[in-house]
Structure 1
Amino acid sequence: MTTAISTSEIIYPSSDGEPIAETYDHVYAIFATLQILKQYLQGRRATVLANQFLYYVQGFPKLRVAPDVMVIYDVEPGGRDNYKIWEEKQVPKVIFEFTSKGTQEEDKTTKNNLYEGLEVEEYWLFDPKGEWITQQLQGYRLRGDIYEPITDSCSQALQLRLAVEGKLIGFYRLDNGEKLLVNDELIAALKQETNKRIEAETQAEQERQRAAELEALLSRYREQFGDLP
């Protein structure tokens, strides 16, 4: 006699013990993308998750995938141990896979077909080492129920233009062209801005000192020779 298992008793693991990525380049690219997009979407009803299980069929915990980075709109912000589509009521809007020669077939076939079937609006493949994607970056967008290549490197879902910058993806706003900065770049930009302000304040102080010295000189002149003609 078999006993039916309640769906509430089914365990959906949050980890499989596998490494997050094959190489340092892939790990760095994943976390840089995660950080950039989290900051970009801050204050909006959205979340960005990296290397976490996406469960897409209730009651079947083996039917899962762990996208390198996924962006989901219209859900509560913040992290999750895993993501269950039937609980959140939203499919990821954009998924990034940081591909390599070793994951090539899975990324361009198995995952492509899965994300297409789940109706993920955009699917981006980035090859940090340029092992099999010549231009390193290739995106796909749903047209009807089929993925078509994105030819302009623009994510309509994110409203960002994507650019290959060495082993990272650069992100630029479509509305004003502004680049979204990674943490190191943010620090560098902050230092640059701080230095500019210090230089401006120093120059203003020097000008105040010169004006004060000139006023003191004129005052001494008046004391000796009277007012200027």
Structure 2
Amino acid sequence: MIKQPPEKIQPQIDYPDSDGQPMADNTKQFRWIVMIKENLEILFANNDEVFVAGDLLWYPVQGDNKIRVAPDIMVVFGRPKGDRSSYKQWEENNLAPQVVFEILSPGNTTAQMAEKLLFYQRFGVQEYYIYDPNKIELSVLQRSGDWLDSVAEVNGWVSPHLGIRFQLTEDTLEIYRPDGGRFLTPLEIDLLRQQESQRAEQEREEKERALRELEAERQRYQALIESLRARGIEPEEM
């Protein structure tokens, strides 16, 4: 009897959910990350096949947990919404994020950003946005073959995948949805919600007041009819 050699047991590979790095280095960077991520969630709320995430580790290669990066924001078209502890590409129909954003802080080094550019270029990102909120500088890179090439004119640039428009002013970067609405901070969104609630309440009160006035008019008319009938006059005869 020939003995078969025992099968080699593949070691279990752990893909950590965190790289130990903070999501942001300061409040300004954090505010921009949250604003862009949440507005993209709102923009694609009705499309179940668009996954948006912030500071989520992306593992593009199965079997190698050292090749990874956590974009500040990433968007994947063709993958369902839902919670994930990390984005393991081989479990996602091998779809790489098509769009990524990085929001710079003073702690970012040239070497770090060069490394991220090479990573995104190597693993299939189609659009790469880098925004420095301190310098109010936006860089846009778009895939051309195997490369991510810089877009020369970024002011007024419209994202091919997202449909959003970028407008630089002296004070800030403004981002506009395809319908022309501006990306808003959570505080601005809540303020609009309150204003809409107040407007709806005012409309309800005005409608109720109009109905009360109409009912009062109807009662006055009915009282007049009854008064005429008490005098023996039928309104139809007038």
TM bucket, shorter chain: 0.7 to 0.9
What is the rounded CA distance, in whole Å, between the counterparts of 2:209 and 2:50 in structure 1? 49
Q: For 1:43-62, what aligned pairs fall within 5 Å after superposition?
A: 43-62=47-66
Output one character per residue of 1:115-138: Cα deviation in whole Å (capped at 9) or x when no partner.
1122200000111222xxxx4322
Aligned to 1:75: 79
Q: Runs of 5+ in structure 1 lacking a partner?
A: none
Q: Give the 3-state SS of the residue equivalent to 1:39 in structure 2.
A: helix
Paired residues of 2:129 and 2:139 also in contact (CA < 8 A): yes
Paired residues of 1:124 and 1:138 also in contact (CA < 8 A): yes
Aligned to 1:200: 203
Paired residues of 2:43 and 2:177 also in contact (CA < 8 A): no
Output one character per residue of 1:171-207: Cα deviation in whole Å (capped at 9) or x when no partner.
4222x22345444333322222222222222223323
Deviation at 1:102, TM superposition (A): 2.5
C-alpha RMSD of matched pairs (Å): 3.0
What is the rounded CA distance, in whole Å, between the counterparts of 1:37 and 1:78 in structure 2? 15
Aligned to 1:129: 134
The number of aligned residues is 220
Paired residues of 1:126 and 1:136 also in contact (CA < 8 A): yes
Aligned to 2:67: 63
What is the rounded CA distance, in whole Å, between the counterparts of 2:53 and 2:169 in structure 1? 22
What is the rounded CA distance, in whole Å, between the counterparts of 2:166 and 2:13 in structure 1? 40
Q: Runs of 5+ in structure 2 lacking a partner?
A: 1-7
What is the rounded CA distance, in whole Å, between the counterparts of 1:165 and 1:203 in structure 2? 41
Q: Give, as a single letter, the amino acid of the residue that structure 1 aligns with 2:191.
A: A
Output one character per residue of 1:92-128: Cα deviation in whole Å (capped at 9) or x when no partner.
1001111123214145422112211222000001112
Paired residues of 1:20 and 1:27 also in contact (CA < 8 A): yes
Paired residues of 1:116 and 1:145 also in contact (CA < 8 A): yes
Q: Give, as a single letter, the amino acid of the residue that structure 1 aligns with 2:123.
A: L
Q: For 1:4-19, what aligned pairs fall within 5 Å after superposition?
A: 6=10, 9-19=12-22
What is the rounded CA distance, in whole Å, between the counterparts of 1:16 and 1:127 in structure 2? 23
Aligned to 2:139: 138
1:41 and 2:47 aligned: no
What is the rounded CA distance, in whole Å, between the counterparts of 1:63 and 1:49 in structure 2? 19
Paired residues of 1:36 and 1:181 also in contact (CA < 8 A): yes
The higher radius of gyration belongs to 2
Q: For 1:1-229, what aligned pairs fall within 5 Å after superposition?
A: 6=10, 9-42=12-45, 43-88=47-92, 89-106=94-111, 108-130=113-135, 135-150=136-151, 151=153, 152-163=156-167, 170-174=174-178, 176-217=179-220, 223=227
What is the rounded CA distance, in whole Å, between the counterparts of 1:92 and 1:57 in structure 2? 14
Structure in which a larger fraction of residues adopt strand: 1
Paired residues of 2:35 and 2:184 also in contact (CA < 8 A): no
After the TM superposition, which of the residue ranges 90-99 and 55-64 deviates more from structure 2?
55-64
Q: Give, as a single letter, the amino acid of the residue that structure 1 aligns with 2:83.
A: G
User: Could you tell me the TM-score, scaled by structure 1's length?
Assistant: 0.80
Output one character per residue of 1:56-82: Cα deviation in whole Å (capped at 9) or x when no partner.
233222121111111112123212211
CA 1:9 to 1:193, structure 2 compared with 1: closer, same or farther past 3 Å?
same
Q: Give the 3-state SS of the residue equivalent to 1:44 in structure 2.
A: coil
User: Could you tell me the TM-score, scaled by structure 2's length?
Assistant: 0.77
